[in-house]
Each structure stands twice: as C-alpha cells, then as structure tokens.
Amino acid sequence: MRTPTRGHEWIRPPQELLEQGTQYGDIGRHLLGMKGRVLVDASLVITQFGFCVAYFIFLGNTLYDLTEKQLELNVRTALQWQSHL
C-alpha cells in the first residue's frame, strides 16, 4: 500500500525500503527532502573523519611510547657497555 506525500512523490512501506538496501541518506531524504539527505550524509562524513583523526592520534601516541621505551633501553644498554670497557 502506498501513501501520497508531496506532489508526485510516494513513500514506500518500511519493509520495501529495507529490502532494497536503503541507505541513511535515503531515509533523510524521505523525511526532510534533499536537505535531509545532505544533512545526514554530511553528518556521516564528519563522524568518519573524527574516527580517523582519533585513530591517528592513538596510533601516533602508541608508536611514540614504543619508540621512547626502545630508545631508552638502547641508551641504557649502551651506557652499561661503555662502563664495562
């Protein structure tokens, strides 16, 4: 069963939308028009960018901690070898 919305557009029942693999932007378009689709898609892009930035910060901190400890170990070992000579 179809129900009319604005003018010639039709909103399909949710089951049909899910069977077609509807994306989040499509839901925003059905609810708020094209501005809704743009708003949802922009929100997803900003969210994904935030995840990437957080991951790069985590990765940088982890690599820094690993190299700092390794460098400290190398310096300590070098000083011990030097004291034995």
Output the pTM of the full model. Answer: 0.56
Does 6 score more than 60 pLDDT? no
- In total, the chain counts a number of residues equal to 85
What per-residue confidence (pLDDT) applies to 19?
A: 67
Q: Which two tokens stand for residue 56?
A: 């790069």
Does 1 score more than 50 pLDDT? no
Torsion of CA 22, 27, 28, 31, to 10 degrees: 150
pLDDT digits (tens, 9 = 90+) for 58-79: 999 998 888 877 777 676 777 6
pLDDT digits (tens, 9 = 90+) for 27-47: 888 888 899 999 999 999 999
Does 16 score more than 90 pLDDT? no
Task: Give me the chain's average pLDDT, please.
Answer: 79
Distance of alpha carbon 85 from alpha carbon 73, whole angstroms:
19
What per-residue confidence (pLDDT) applies to 12?
A: 59
